[in-house]
Chain A
Amino acid sequence: MIDNLYVIAIITIWLSIFMTVVTLSGGVIFIFKHLQHTNIDNLPPLKRYPKVTLVVPAHNEELVIQDTVQSILRLNYPLDRFELLVYADNCNDHTADRVRELKQIKEFKNHNFRVIERTGTGGKAGVLNDALKVSTGEYLGVYDADAAPEKNALYFLVQKVLENPERYAAAFGRNKTRNYQQNFLTRCINLEIVNTQRIQHTGLWQLFKIGRIPGTNFIINKEIVQSIGGWNNGALTEDTAISFSLMRSGKLIALAHRAEAFQQEPETLFAYYNQRKRWARGNYEVILDNLKHLFDRTSWRIKLEVFYYVCTFFWFNAAIIISNTIFILNLILAGVQSVFPQVHQLVSLGTPLSVLFMVNWLMMFFLYLLQMNIALASDYGQETVQNFFYTLVSYFTYAQLFIIVSIAAFWAILRDKITGKRHTQWYKTQRF
């Protein structure tokens, strides 16, 4: 029994180290290849400027909508080649009025933008499907209501898809945290986002040409979306769902690493918990839907993606929970042993196996620090002493929140399966 556990445990640790090393190596190669400076004040003209319909789904976003719309209207892209549709989706605040106020500003008089007050269902996916019907662009671009793009973001997204328009169905950029200095939570979220954008995305693109639509700051070929049936109405993570659909149709989602947008992240644990629980639950649903593709003739990219998600959300999560349980039990037994010497611990420290496990854990921890710091070093102004200490602390605090969130999401799915009802509501991320 203990032999089998040992084999399973060591394989799990090695697999997680191997996956991290592979992605990190891809990320490092990408960083070295793209270290040269881009003069953003003097960008060459594009081969052509396809018309783009930019869509902003907004549900009660009066606090942030004006900043986002203004940033979009100031994009470095010919005015007659893009239109902006702001969907005030089931709003009971002044989101639509805030957008209309911008119409009165002289600077935006000649811009092609309008606000559509929507009362339909389907959430964000429903909005995007509605936009598909009325848009006039060749590409559809999406920005969340809190995501203000940098002025060349659209230029870089279009430049990327034009590199191979037949193969690249979509291009996605990078998102940065604009409120990261608010508190400990936002600083940790910032570390996570920098790591995801600078290592995960670049590594997977560099090595496997795998990209995932991030929900905001991306453009997508309208015809291709229509051909795969649009967005999955009511999906909790419509971005992951459509990423899988695109890859199944043999298309690629290209990384345009210079297209940047600044978005607001949750500032309270409550807002964070609800947002991440929705994401985790949405991802579980997409994984379960796509699990069958591990064993059929679908593209190897789908298999790799499904395998990656299964490892992260199921296998490694279960392993962490079991190992934490054993660790706590061991501590309790050690306490009991001091009173009753006849009681033995589950795992005795000091044996060669325990030392080997400890070395592997230390390696994993060091790899985590290394990954974070390579990501931070490649991002302007992020590699600071303060951020280094945050990476240390976040491992034992923030990173552990994922376990709680994923257990809660898994439980919600199980409960819905057992009761046959869908209890989870689409919780709107609170703005500050």
Chain B
Amino acid sequence: MVLGSLNWLFSFSLVVTIIFGIVIVVLSICWWQIFKLTIRRFNTEDKQHDR
């Protein structure tokens, strides 16, 4: 594939890709937070249920 007249589009694509990458990193942090919070909550519920 030859870039031809799409040089500017390649730079633009790179910027958009980086922005998406940052959003995905933020969402990954959210996953970790949800994972920690739900595991704690589910464990607490299990202990209450066992009593």
15 contacts between A and B (CB under 8 A): A21-B23, A28-B30, A31-B34, A35-B34, A37-B41, A347-B1, A348-B1, A353-B3, A353-B10, A359-B17, A374-B34, A377-B31, A377-B38, A378-B34, A383-B35
B interface majority secondary structure: helix
A interface majority secondary structure: helix
**A interface residues, Cβ below 8 angstroms from B:** 2-3, 6-7, 10, 14, 17-18, 21, 24-25, 28, 31-32, 35, 37, 347-348, 351-354, 356, 359-360, 363, 366-367, 370, 373-374, 377-378, 380-381, 383
Select one of B1, B10, B17, B45 contacting A2, CB under 8 A: B1
Per-residue contact bits, chain B 19-37, to A (CB 8 Å; 1 contact, 0 not): 0110110011011011101
Measured in the bound complex, the distance between the Cα atoms of B38 and A31 in whole Å is 10
A/B pair count, beta carbons within 8 Å:
83
Please name the residue on chain B nearest to A18 by beta carbon: B20
When A28-B27, A356-B14, A377-B35 are in contact, do A351 and B9 touch as well, CB less than 8 Å? Answer: no
Select one of A17, A378, A380, A383 contacting B20, CB under 8 A: A17
Select one of A7, A360, A373 contacting B17, CB under 8 A: A360
A7:B20 contact, CB within 8 angstroms: no
Q: Which 8 A-B pairs have the closest CB atoms?
A: A377-B35, A28-B30, A374-B31, A353-B1, A377-B34, A377-B38, A351-B1, A17-B20
B38:A363 contact, CB within 8 angstroms: no
Please name the residue on chain B nearest to A24 by beta carbon: B27
When A28-B27, A37-B45 are in contact, do A21 and B34 touch as well, CB less than 8 Å? Answer: no
